[in-house]
Amino acid sequence: MRRVIMALALIGVYLAVRALQIHYSTGLTPCSINDVWDCGVVNRGPYSVIYGVPVALIGIIGYLFLFVMEGLKKWRLMAAASPGALGFSLYLTHIEASILQTWCEYCVGSLITISLITLLAIIQLIVQQRKRAPGREATAVAR
C-alpha cells in the first residue's frame, strides 16, 4: 500500500505541475475544450492564488510532503494531513462548481488522487495500529 500511496503522490505532483504551467501560460491551453471544461479559466482566475501563491504550487508542495511522509513511514501524520488536503481540494472543487461553473481536468484528477491517498492513508493507519495493539499477541497465543 505504501508504494501505491507514493505513486499517487507523484501523480498528484504531475497534475499540479501541469496546472501551474497553465497558470503561467498566456496562450490557449490544451484542456480548454468548451465553456464547461477550461483549465485556463480555473488556473488563471482570481481563485487560482492565495496570498499571491498559486494554488497549483501549494498542491505541488503538498503532494511532495505526502510523498516524503509516506516514504518515512509517518502513518499518523499521513492520516492527519491527507484529510486536510482533501478538504482543501473539496473547497477548490466547490469554487469550480458553484462560482466559476468551469472545470479543470487537472483539478478533477487531483481531487480523485487526493481522495484515494486519504482513503489509503487511513486504512494504512488502522492496519498499522492493529499490528501494534498491546495484548494482541497474548490473545493470539492463548487461542
3-state secondary structure 43-70: HHCHHHEECCEEHHHHHHHHHHHHHHHH
What is the structure's pLDDT at 32? 73
- Distance between CA atoms of residues 9 and 123, nearest Å: 16
| pTM, 2 dp | 0.88
Using the predicted structure, report yes or no on whether residue 140 has a pLDDT greater than 60: no
60 closest CA partner among 117, 120, 9: 9
Query: Which DSSP helix (H) or strand (E) runs through 123?
Result: helix 105-132
Domains within the chain, CATH numbers bracketed? 2-142 (1.20.1440.130)
- The predicted-structure confidence for 7-23, as pLDDT tens digits, reads as follows 999 999 999 999 999 99
pLDDT score recorded for residue 1: 87
